């Protein structure tokens, strides 16, 4: 599995550290981010090639960074076939997280659900809100989650992928 990584200046250092950590854990990574830190760079310029690599099949999944991760996710989700979720840090659900009313106290449940239910193929991390250690932990958790393939979720994903097309 090859992982597309990208960022703008706001996640530059954090992404480089994540790449090192993922490679030590045995993941192959392709860095689509800037070669040098430049506070004037624009995230769409770096997110686009990461998305294109996933769409073309050169990378299986992607992890991108920004200050909040929001703009990067918005840029990614403009590409048909990309389903990018945003992560700010651990959180606990205050209401049931599934159709049968099950509660979860897992602070990473939202990452799990992004893959199980939405088949997210890209994760946008809010680089200004998480630590390096936390970033590596959640990246590995997210990369190892799988889509459940339930009909209702597959149907919804097909509708997402057909919006605008």
Confidence of residue 103 (pLDDT cuts 50, 70, 90): confident
Provide the terminal-to-terminal Cα distance of the chain, rounded to the nearest Å. Answer: 28
Flag whether pLDDT at 73 surpasses 80.
yes
Q: Catalytic: 117? A: yes
Question: Across residues 66-79, what is the average pLDDT?
Answer: 95
Q: What is the pLDDT of residue 99?
A: 64
CA angle 67, 72, 70 (to 5 degrees): 60
Q: What is the pLDDT of residue 160?
A: 83
118, HSE (Cβ side, Cα atoms, 13 Å): 18
Flag whether pLDDT at 164 surpasses 60.
no
Average confidence score pLDDT of the chain: 92
Q: Is 139 exposed, middle or buried (0-12, 13-18, 19+ CB in 10 A)?
A: buried
Reply yes or no on domain 2-162 having CATH 3.40.1400.10.
Answer: yes
Percent of the chain with pLDDT over 90: 80
Q: What is the pLDDT of residue 96?
A: 63
> Catalytic residue among 9, 72, 109, 116, which?
72
> Catalytic residue among 13, 30, 79, 117, which?
117
Q: What is the pLDDT of residue 92?
A: 78
63 CB contacts (<8 Å, ≥6 apart)? 3, 4, 5, 15, 18, 122, 123, 124, 125, 139, 142
Flag whether pLDDT at 69 surpasses 90.
yes
Confidence of residue 100 (pLDDT cuts 50, 70, 90): low
Which residues are bridge partners to 125 per DSSP?
65, 87
Report helix, strand or coil for 122.
Answer: strand
Q: What is the pLDDT of residue 97?
A: 65
Q: Where are the domains of the chain?
A: 2-162
CA distance 17 to 64: 13
For 20-32, the pLDDT digits (tens) are: 999 999 999 999 9
Other beta carbons less than 10 A from residue 52's beta carbon: 15
For 28-56, the pLDDT digits (tens) are: 999 999 999 999 999 999 999 999 999 99
Q: Catalytic: 9? A: no
Nearest to 20 by CA among 34, 9, 31: 31
Nearest to 144 by CA among 112, 113, 122: 112
CA distance 94 to 88: 17
């Amino acid at each position: 599995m090859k992982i597309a990584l990208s960022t703008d200046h706001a996640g530059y250092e954090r992404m480089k550290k994540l790449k090192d950590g993922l490679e030590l854990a045995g993941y192959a990574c392709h860095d689509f981010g800037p070669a040098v830190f430049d506070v004037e760079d624009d995230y769409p310029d770096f997110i686009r090639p990461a998305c294109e690599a996933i769409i073309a099949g050169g990378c299986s999944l992607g992890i991108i960074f920004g200050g909040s991760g929001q703009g990067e996710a918005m840029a990614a989700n403009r590409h048909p076939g990309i389903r990018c979720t945003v992560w700010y840090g651990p959180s606990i659900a205050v209401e049931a997280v599934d159709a049968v009313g099950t509660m979860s106290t897992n602070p990473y449940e939202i990452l799990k659900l992004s893959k199980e239910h939405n088949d997210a193929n890209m994760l946008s991390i809010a680089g200004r809100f998480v630590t390096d250690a936390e970033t590596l932990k959640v990246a590995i958790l997210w990369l190892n989650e799988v889509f459940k393939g339930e009909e209702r979720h597959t149907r919804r994903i097909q509708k997402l992928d057909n919006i605008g097309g």
